[in-house]
Amino acid sequence: MRQASIWAAVGAAVTAVAAVAIVVGMFWNDLGASEMSSAGWLALGFCVFVTLALGVGLMSLMFISSRRGYDDRAGHKDR
Q: What is the DSSP letter of 77?
A: S
- Name the residue ranges covered by the structural domains of the chain: 1-34, 36-79
pLDDT at 71 over 90: no
Q: How confident is the model at residue 57 (pLDDT cuts 50, 70, 90)?
A: very high
Tell me which of 20-24, 32-36, 37-41, 60-64 is least confident: 32-36
pTM of the predicted model as reported, rounded to 2 decimal places: 0.51
Rg, Å, the chain Cα set: 22
d(CA 61, CA 70) in angstroms, rounded, equals 11
Do residues 65 and 71 lie in contact, with contact meaning Cβ atoms separated by under 8 Å? yes
Cα–Cα distance for residue pair 69/46, rounded to 1 Å: 34
pLDDT confidence of 17, banded at 50, 70, 90?
very high
Residues 79, 73 contacting (CB under 8 angstroms): yes
